[in-house]
Amino acid sequence: MATDVLEVIRAKRDGLALTDEQIRFFLEGYTAGSIADEQASALLMAIVFRGLDQRELATWTATMIESGDRLDLSSVGRPTVDKHSTGGVGDKISLPLCPLVAACGAAVPQLSGRGLGHTGGTLDKLEAVPGWRALLPLDEMLAVLRDTGAVICGAGEGLAPTDRKLYALRDVTGTVESIPLIASSIMSKKIAEGTESLVLDVKVGAGAFLPDLDQARRLAETMVGLGTAHGVRTVALLTDMDQPLGVACGNGLEVAETLEVLSGGGPPDVVELTLALAREMLSLAGLGSVDPAPALADGRAMDVWRRMIAAQGGDVDAPLATAAHVETVAAPAAGVVRRLDAKAVGVAAWRLGAGRSRKEDPVSPVAGIRCLAKRGDRVEAGQPLLELHTDDPARIGGARHGLDAALADGRIEIGVAAPEPRPLVIERID
């Protein structure tokens, strides 16, 4: 057993594989507080540059899982299946997806997080519903899951506590962008959650955490391998995040769009991806013969949504708050929208108040952007292209400045020729 953290840091700095004992010593010591933040930061940076091999990653992930509780969902009475997205702009898919899959016979125990930077967080979106509670005691979470078939809530402190502490450190030390660290962070929480099956939505494109296809594929393969090794049936879809999903980007705006989808309408891309992920989830849960499309169209998914939201304190009949200030960004010329950069839109929504720079920052339930035209749509000069929503008019200038820059450098582009079509679902990995 290693007893000197410097020995562990030096080993990884020099490109050596850490032993299982060294990994456990470090993770257990950091969680307990016997290893300082600056020492942990040094090892994390060494991992960013040197990586972890398959054995190291397996031990690292297993130790993070073992640092806390592993939930027992056997009392739910249905096959359990969850979905995790690596994050994007306008990615409200979990909101209609969870009640849809529950309406088809599975149970969805989704432990979700909050947004940071230009990507949105599921809990932030749902908190736009008056009265809705993100944090539930374990017995209440299980009761909601048994009674409605779906629950979306925050993870309790007893779930993978090592990851919670490491994630906060990675966020402030520039050590987030590491496939082994990303994969172990996501999968330690999902495996500890106790779900039998898991579908991963790994985003690719301008608004994605990993814009490069090869990197996204490596992350997906790594996470599928970790899930399978821990007895969780796992599949990943690589999906497009080059432009925002749907029309709405922002917390309350995305809840409103979710209600459109659950009412049988909504943007075609949101419906397409919701159904694609639902089919994967139902297949893993042993319900592959069930077609989710009718349950989305005939109101069964909406019924589950209403029961799920109400069970967590939400007022399903209360109107959603709307922004006091709404302005538009006009198309500078006639033509076809060739590009609508997801990150540019996401950053502008963040500047309007929809996102946060630090985990403790508040977010606005009304701030955000509606994309009034998407790739392939024809527009006239002066036609509204984007709609900016905020309660703080002082935020409009920063958002418009960023969008004007994107129009100037081609990240938002109006042209003559229609763009090449991009598939929404790029690849499937199992």
pLDDT tens across 323-338, in order? 999 999 999 999 999 9
Token duo for residue 411? 């990240």
- The distance from CA 59 to its chain's CA centroid, rounded to whole angstroms, is 25
Longest dimension (CA), the chain: 69
Q: CA 319, CA 226: separation in Å to the nearest integer?
A: 42
Strand, helix or coil for residue 407: helix
Q: CA 295, CA 47: separation in Å to the nearest integer?
A: 45
Q: CA 321, CA 111: separation in Å to the nearest integer?
A: 25
Backbone angles phi, psi at 311, to 5 degrees: -65, -20
pLDDT at residue number 195: 96
- The distance from CA 330 to its chain's CA centroid, rounded to whole angstroms, is 30
Predicted model pTM: 0.94
Whether 185 sits among the annotated catalytic residues: the reply is yes
252-292 confidence digits (pLDDT tens): 999 999 999 999 999 999 999 999 999 999 999 999 999 99
Whether 291 sits among the annotated catalytic residues: the reply is no
Lowest-confidence segment of 170-174, 309-313, 342-346, 391-395 by average pLDDT: 170-174
DSSP string across 149-203 = SEEEEEPPTTSSHHHHHHHHHHHHHT----HHHHHHHHHHHHHHHT-SEEEEEEE
48-60 confidence digits (pLDDT tens): 999 999 999 999 9
How high does pLDDT run on average in the chain? 95
Strand, helix or coil for residue 365: coil
The sheet carrying 325-330 orders its strands as 248-249, 368-371, 384-390, 325-330
The CATH number of 5-51 is 1.20.970.10
Q: Which residues pair with 428 in a beta bridge?
A: 237
**Of 118, 125, 164, 189, which one is the catalytic site residue?**
189
pLDDT (average), residues 210-234: 95
Give the right CATH number for 325-415 from 3.30.420.40, 1.20.1260.10, 3.30.70.3340, 3.90.1170.30.
3.90.1170.30
Token duo for residue 9? 């840091």
**Of 112, 185, 188, 197, which one is the catalytic site residue?**
185
169-184 confidence digits (pLDDT tens): 887 888 888 999 999 9
Amino acid symbol at 99 = P
In this predicted structure, the answer to whether residue 115 has a pLDDT above a threshold of 80 is no
Q: Same topology for domains 74-311 and 325-415, yes or no? A: no
Query: In the block, which residue shows the tokens 């209360």?
Result: 318
CA dist list (Å): 352 to 68, 118, 320? 37, 11, 18
Q: Give the CATH architecture of domain 74-311.
A: 3-Layer(aba) Sandwich (3.40)
Token duo for residue 350? 């963040």
Q: Determine what percent of the chain is predicted with pLDDT higher than 70.
A: 98
Lowest-confidence segment of 355-364, 373-382, 414-423 by average pLDDT: 355-364
In this predicted structure, the answer to whether residue 392 has a pLDDT above a threshold of 60 is yes
Number of helical (H) and strand (E) elements in the chain, helices listed first = 16, 13
pLDDT at residue number 65: 95
**Of 163, 240, 242, 341, which one is the catalytic site residue?**
163
pLDDT at residue number 359: 66
Token duo for residue 86? 């690596």
Whether 188 sits among the annotated catalytic residues: the reply is no
Q: Provide the residue ranges of all domains of the chain, joining segments of one domain with +.
A: 5-51, 74-311, 325-415
The sheet carrying 378-379 orders its strands as 378-379, 335-340, 412-415
In this predicted structure, the answer to whether residue 42 has a pLDDT above a threshold of 70 is yes
In this predicted structure, the answer to whether residue 339 has a pLDDT above a threshold of 60 is yes
Backbone angles phi, psi at 381, to 5 degrees: -60, 130
**Burial class for 324, CB neighbours closer than 10 Å (0-12, 13-18, 19+):** exposed
Q: CA 102, CA 331: separation in Å to the nearest integer?
A: 41
More confident residue, 61 or 173: 61
Query: Within 13 Å of residue 80, how many CA atoms lie on the same side as its CB?
Result: 21
Could you tell me which of 286, 371, 388 has the C-alpha nearest to residue 328? 388
CB 271 within 8 A of CB 237: no
pLDDT at residue number 167: 85
**Of 83, 164, 170, 375, which one is the catalytic site residue?**
170
pLDDT (average), residues 183-191: 94
CB 70 within 8 A of CB 40: no
CA atoms 54, 59, 62, 68: torsion sign: negative
Whether 84 sits among the annotated catalytic residues: the reply is yes
**Of 12, 24, 50, 84, which one is the catalytic site residue?**
84
In this predicted structure, the answer to whether residue 1 has a pLDDT above a threshold of 60 is no
Token duo for residue 233? 């049936």
Whether 163 sits among the annotated catalytic residues: the reply is yes
Could you tell me which of 382, 392, 385 has the C-alpha nearest to residue 369? 385
Could you tell me which of 50, 63, 87 has the C-alpha nearest to residue 178? 50
CB 100 within 8 A of CB 263: no
